Amino acid sequence: MREPPQLINRYKWYEILGIYAGIAVFLTFVLAPFVEGFLVSLKPLSQLFSSPYRFIPENGSFEAYYTMWDHVPGFARYIVNSFVISGAATVIVLILVVPAAYAFARFEFRGAGLLLGAFLAVNMFSGAVLLIPLFRLMRSLGVLNTYFAMIVPGVAFLIPSAIWLLRTYMMRIPRELDEAAFVDGASHFYTLRRVILPIAKPGIVVVAITTFIGAYAQQFIYALTFNSKTEYAPLPVGLFAYFGRQEVVWNELMAAAFVGIAPAMIVIFFLQRYLVSGLTAGAVKQ
């Protein structure tokens, strides 16, 4: 038998109606572009400009998903580039942020509050505002048109939010664990490695996911400005290849967009499952 919901979760029929109507409005705005994009990818190009416009494709096929590879031969490379850039950025951010967040969470040092405030302030600028000075910097360093030029600014702008996230998580770990390790003779690094890291694993996964997504979303702007070599271009820039001289190959462009997102989605899907199990299994007992 189905259990009746808890008293606080019981709603009148019109309340339920209102809730679902609200959800529907927002879901429409979020999902409609995806649905439309997917439908476009199924249509033959000729049908796209027919009038009256029809949303449901007639004799739709997945043909665009095959032809896109021929039309832009470097497309696989773009996906790999995207992964290399975002993956490298994530790894570098984690290496830098884990000890930094531990220091901010545990040690009292002069300027800690000021530094954290500065990180927050940096977060308010997007990298885009600083593109011109960054470009000049990259040019004088002679690193334009390299992976480096796309990874390093991304890392720089992802570090602040990662530190804030992980610091908050680490502050929830009882200080007595550090003290117990200290009494037993452990150094700060030993404590970090054997005690804090394993307990903070779910928090680190959260940071890894947000950093990866952030890097994935952010790379477009750096790639566009700091890189003009096609073979280094990441996915969002690579999509421009479907903008031909005469016409835009919309159906293939949409297909490419979905194919390009897919690997990232899969990675995040697995990380997220791990994250949930990590949160429930390794809960810190006070």
CA dist list (Å): 226 to 129, 133, 152, 157: 14, 12, 11, 16
Closest separation in Å from C-beta 116 to another protein:
23
Two tokens, residue 208: 């890894």
Per-residue binder mask for another protein (CB under 8 A), 159-178, x = binder: ---------------x-xx-
Helix runs in the chain, H state only: 13-42, 45-48, 63-71, 75-106, 112-124, 131-141, 147-171, 175-183, 188-191, 197-199, 201-226, 235-238, 250-281
Two tokens, residue 39: 């439908």
Closest separation in Å from C-beta 180 to another protein:
4
Between 10 and 193, name the residue whose CB sits nearer to another protein: 193
User: How many angstroms separate the CA atoms of 139 and 129, rounded?
Assistant: 17
Between 159 and 166, name the residue whose CB sits nearer to another protein: 166
Two tokens, residue 124: 């308010």
Please say whether the beta carbons of 116 and 267 come within 8 A: no
Q: Is 31 in the site for another protein (CB under 8 A)?
A: no
Neighbours of 39 (CB within 10 A): 16
Choosing from 179, 217, 266, 272, the residue that interacts with another protein (CB under 8 A) is 179
Dihedral over Cα of 47, 53, 55, 58: its sign: negative
Between 46 and 286, name the residue whose CB sits nearer to another protein: 286
Between 152 and 206, name the residue whose CB sits nearer to another protein: 206
DSSP state of 247: -
Closest separation in Å from C-beta 189 to another protein:
12
The torsion region of residue 244 among left (phi > 0), alpha (psi -120 to 50) and beta comes to beta
Closest separation in Å from C-beta 279 to another protein:
13
Closest separation in Å from C-beta 98 to another protein:
16
Per-residue binder mask for another protein (CB under 8 A), 266-285, x = binder: ----------------xxxx
Closest separation in Å from C-beta 281 to another protein:
9
Tokens 């531990």 map to which residue? Answer: 102
Q: Is 199 in the site for another protein (CB under 8 A)?
A: yes
Binders of another protein in range 91-110 (CB under 8 A): none
Between 124 and 281, name the residue whose CB sits nearer to another protein: 281
Closest separation in Å from C-beta 113 to another protein:
18
- Segment near another protein (CB under 8 A), from 71-79, 91-99, 159-167, 191-199? 191-199
User: How many angstroms separate the CA atoms of 144 and 121, rounded?
Assistant: 27
Between 18 and 282, name the residue whose CB sits nearer to another protein: 282
Closest separation in Å from C-beta 193 to another protein:
11
| Radius of gyration in angstroms for the set of CA atoms belonging to the chain, rounded to a whole number | 24
Binders of another protein in range 237-256 (CB under 8 A): none
- State which H helix or E strand residue 231 sits in: none
Number of residues that bind another protein (CB under 8 A): 21
Please say whether the beta carbons of 104 and 270 come within 8 A: no
Residues contributing to the site for another protein (CB under 8 A): 174, 176-177, 179-186, 190, 194-195, 198-199, 282-286
